[in-house]
Amino acid sequence: MKSIYFITGNKGKFSEVKEKLKRLDVAVIQENLGYPEVQGDSLEEVAGYGVEHIKKRFLHPFIIEDAGLFVDALDGFPGVYSKYVFFTIGCKGILKLLEDKKRRTAVFRSVYAYSEPNNKPLFFIGECQGIITTKERGEGGFGYDPIFIPDGETKTFAEMNTEEKNTFSHRGKALDKLIDFLKEK
């Protein structure tokens, strides 16, 4: 069985990936090495810095993932600042910023970077369009899940189980592209 390292401290992300890669003959191993999330203009830039940092001390093929919520009425905020914003103002802060806004559209973006020791990283991108709720709903998931409803649904991500969320989610779509690539390897 092939194995791949997923460098992340986020249990929610790890279980999503494990669930999906179950079908391939690939074992996913979580490594919580930690790496600096340098602020960049795009998720690819942030992930690219992370890869270079990890590669200096980790000599196996690995993946990392970076994601963000881009709210249209806030000109794409929190975007690449999603992590910091979540740990400071959180879901409640985003709802407050949107209090008087009619436009509730937003997009979750995810980028996976796949890295091998002697090659440049490859990026796999996924998006999920949706709307921001007016109240937090649901107990599952993580991060901004309680305030995000994907297009065509009535439930928030936090009201879905992992498998259900994966069928819609930005990370699920990016992961499908990564899986297609891994299948061919």
Q: What positions carry a catalytic annotation?
A: 66
C-alpha 7 chain-centroid distance: 13
Strands (E), 55-181: 62-71, 105-115, 122-132, 148-150
Smallest separation, CB 21 to ligand IMP (Å): 17
Query: Which residue is closest to ligand IMP by CB?
Result: 143
Rule CB under 6 A: which of 158-177 touch ligand IMP?
Answer: 169, 171
Q: Please give the C-alpha separations between residue 125 and each of 8, 43, 108, 140, 168, in angstroms, as whole numbers.
A: 17, 9, 11, 24, 14
145 binds ligand IMP (CB under 6 A): yes
Q: Which is nearer to ligand IMP, 175 or 182 (CB)?
A: 175
Count of residues in contact with ligand IMP, rule CB under 6 A: 18
Distance CA 58, CA 87 (A): 28
Q: How far is the CB of 32 from ligand IMP (least distance, A)?
A: 12
Restricted to residues 61-120, the positions that interact with ligand IMP (CB under 6 A) are: 66-69, 82-83, 86, 108
- Distance CA(125)–CA(163), nearest Å, equals 19
Position among 35, 62, 157, 168 found at the interface with ligand IMP (CB under 6 A) = 157
Q: How far apart are CA 162 and CA 152, in angstroms?
A: 18
Q: Can you give the binding site for ligand IMP, defined by CB under 6 A? A: 10, 37, 66-69, 82-83, 86, 108, 141-145, 157, 169, 171
